[in-house]
Amino acid sequence: MEDEKILEIKDLHTAFRFQDEYFDAIDDVSLSLYKNEVLAIVGESGCGKSTIANSIVGLHDKNFTKTSGEIIYNGENVLNYSEDQYNKIRGKEIGFIFQDPLASLNPLHKIGIQIEESLIYHTNLNKGQRHERMLQLLDQVGIINPKRIANQFPHQLSGGMRQRVLIAIALSCKPKIIIADEPTTALDVTIQAQILDLLTELQDEINAGIILITHDLGVVAQMSDRVAVMYAGQIVEYAETKELFSNPLHPYTRSLLQSIPQADSVGEELHVIKGMVPSLKNLVREGCRFAPRIPWILESEHEKSPMLNEVSKNHFVRCTCWKNFHFRDDGGY
């Protein structure tokens, strides 16, 4: 952890427009990423994980989004970047891996061309060198017979291979940061493990920092060094992975962990968190945002305007409701 900080997000707000009104999808998020580490962001669908990722490289439609705060990369606040400046870091310094590998590849272009594309804009390699580099990348992500695959179209590949291709694209310019947005969600379990192994392996090679966005706590435990747990656009708990799993504090984190099926819990009913993440429009922005989903906890346990508090070294928790939190006595939820 003594490594250098490569990305710092400070008080990030990202708001989306609905009918001329802006609603914060990301509310006051601060995170930092160090060289060589994996920072995981976990949370349910709709809690704003991907929004953070897209905000970092400015992929949102500017007509419908407003961002404020700071995202410091290379000593500059990238939120002030123009489209051209963004294009210089996208793909070159920051690589992206997306969730759905089939939809994320252009169905009409051959694999090889799609990998070479970022080399065209970010390197001075000539055509032949690009081709060489492309084959080398395919080989690097564990694709057997790169020459054949380079000439195929996305639909001719299996899901795992497509995800490898996406990783090759993300890696093509040896980025300093890789943002992996649910990279294994669309894959089956055995392939998931392979892809995660591959990511770890490649990270060691290029010393990149990885931001891993996922809703799968298993993946978090296996991969990450530090975790930020998000709920309704806010970070509710932020700690080192070991600490978080051995000492989860926030009710939301504990509920999430409780919801993982255990090998010895056969026959028991699975824990579910009742309700769902409120939509942007309906979200009550005052008070503890998780309160409506744990109604048995008294209002007095919550803070009026909950902040992230450092409860032990490098372990941050929002609100005070964690102190006396208990699951429902009837064993239910």
Partner 1 sequence: MWKTVLRRSLLMIPQLFILSIIVFALGKMMPGDPFTGLITPDIDPLRIAELKEKAGLNDPIPVQYKNWMVRILRDGDFGKSYTYKMQVSTLIGARAVNTLWLSLLTLILTYLIAIPLGIYAGRYQGSPFDKGVIIYNFISFAIPTFVLSLIFLLIFGYKLAWFPTTGSVEIGVQKGTFAYVLSKLHYMILPAITAAVLRTAGTIQYLRNEVIDAKTQDYVKTARSKGVPIDKVYTHHIFRNSLLPIAAFFGFTITGLLSGSIFIETIFSYSGMGELFISAINSRDYAVMNALVLLFGFLTLTGSLLSDIIMTAVDPRIRIE
Binding site for partner 1 (CB under 8 A): 57, 59, 83-84, 86-92, 94-96, 98-100, 103-109, 114, 117-118, 121-122, 153, 155, 166, 169
Residue closer to partner 1 by CB (options 66, 254) is: 66
Q: Which is nearer to partner 1, 100 or 216 (CB)?
A: 100
Q: Are the C-beta atoms of 211 and 177 separated by less than 8 Å?
A: yes
Dihedral of the CA atoms 58, 3, 98, 273 (nearest 10)?
Answer: -100
Looking at beta carbons only, is 2 or 61 nearer to partner 1?
61
Q: For strand 76-77 and strand 94-97, is the pairing parallel, antiparallel, or unpaired?
A: unpaired
In terms of Cα–Cα distance, which of 168, 169, 214, 225 is closest to 192? 214
Single-letter amino acid, residue 269: E
Q: Are 161 and 143 in contact (CB under 8 A)?
A: yes
Q: How far is the CB of 103 from partner 1 (least distance, A)?
A: 4
Query: Across-strand partners of 123?
Result: none
Task: Tell me how far, at minimum, the Cβ of 93 lies from partner 1, in Å.
Answer: 9
CA 279 to chain centre: 20
User: Residue 93 has which token pair?
Assistant: 């310094």
Closest CB 156 distance from partner 1, rounded Å? 8
Min CB(102)–partner 1 separation in Å: 9
Which tokens in the block code for residue 214?
A: 């996922």
Overall size of the chain counted in residues: 333
User: Sign of torsion, CA 94 190 157 215?
Assistant: negative
CB nearer partner 1, residue 202 or residue 239: 202
Q: How far is the CB of 123 from partner 1 (least distance, A)?
A: 11
To partner 1, the closest distance from the beta carbon of 17 in angstroms equals: 12
Whole-number minimum distance, CB 50 to partner 1, in Å?
10
Q: What are the phi and psi torsion angles at 74 (to 5°)? A: 60, 30
Q: How far is CA 183 from CA 5, 51, 98, 233, in A?
A: 24, 15, 6, 21
- To which residue do tokens 């976990």 refer? 42
Which residue lies nearer to partner 1 by CB, 16 or 153? Answer: 153
Whole-angstrom distance, CA of residue 313 vs CA of residue 290: 24
Cβ-based nearer residue to partner 1, 108 or 263: 108
Question: Which residue lies nearer to partner 1 by CB, 138 or 321?
Answer: 138
Instruction: Name the H helices within the chain.
Output: 49-56, 83-89, 111-122, 127-140, 146-150, 159-171, 189-206, 217-223, 241-246, 251-258
Minimal distance, residue 107 CB to partner 1, in Å: 6
Considering the complex, state which of residue 90 and residue 293 has its C-beta at the smaller distance from partner 1.
90
Distance of CA 11 to the CA centre of its chain: 17
